[in-house]
Homo-oligomer: A and B are copies of this chain.
Amino acid sequence: MSALEAELAPRKVPQQQRAQFTVDCILKAAESIIVKSGYDAATTNNIAEVAGVSIGSLYQYFASKEAIAAALVESAVMNATEVLRDCLIENMAKPLEESARQIIRTILETRKQYSFIFLRLPREVPKLGRLSRNVTTEKFLYNTIRAYYQHHRTEIGVEDIEVAMFVSEHIIVGSIDAYLNNNAPVITDEQLVEQLSDAFVKYLTK
């Protein structure tokens, strides 16, 4: 565990049920305020108040304001990771094109659901920014993704599979994030899924 990770880790693991409830309240309050008004506008005192908890208690479970943001990101990443891994496993056996569509649709949905926490929060919290690539989805998924590529090896025409993985991940996730950031998109979600699948498959197959 790096020094940075230690700094952002929960201060004490809540062992009683009541304590877990407190932690949940704090996170829920933090998320609602941060999503609505941004990280800077969310003061710890305000988070505590909305959570119905004293500021002293808040600091008993979180070492700092940044740690709250980190917990928020971590929770979102874990949820998204699970969803995506299930999706990958489920589509492992299907042909590339069909599975791609389903996987990209799932990525779009999770990115959309957590768009604020994935896209904006890390930028507003300096320490999280540095952390974000570490806790980001792909790390947890690495083996599953690799298995997926191995599974479709015969369909893939790119020589270096590491490069292919890296590039296609950035193409898909990058495009989706850019799309979600766009205020006036020209196409629908389903069109995006369609086009990205197309591009993805074309890129991978020779």
Residue ranges of A at the interface with B (Cβ–Cβ < 8 Å) = 38, 40-41, 119-120, 123-124, 126, 130, 132-133, 135, 162-163, 166-167, 170-171, 173-179, 181-187, 191-192, 195-196, 198-199, 202-203
Contact = CB atoms under 8 A, between A and B. Distances in A.
A80 to B, nearest CB: 16
Contacts of A119: 123
Contact of A124 (B123, B130, B132, B178): B123
Q: Chain copies in the assembly?
A: 4
Q: Is the interface of A mostly helix, strand, loop or mixed?
A: helix
A183 B202 CA distance: 27
Given A126-B41, A199-B203, A203-B202, A186 B166 contact: yes
A175 B40 CA distance: 28
A191 B203 contact: no
30 contacts: A38-B126, A40-B126, A120-B123, A124-B124, A133-B184, A135-B183, A163-B186, A163-B195, A166-B186, A166-B187, A167-B192, A167-B196, A170-B174, A170-B178, A170-B179, A170-B182, A171-B171, A171-B199, A174-B174, A174-B175, A174-B176, A174-B177, A174-B179, A175-B175, A177-B178, A195-B203, A198-B203, A199-B199, A199-B203, A202-B203
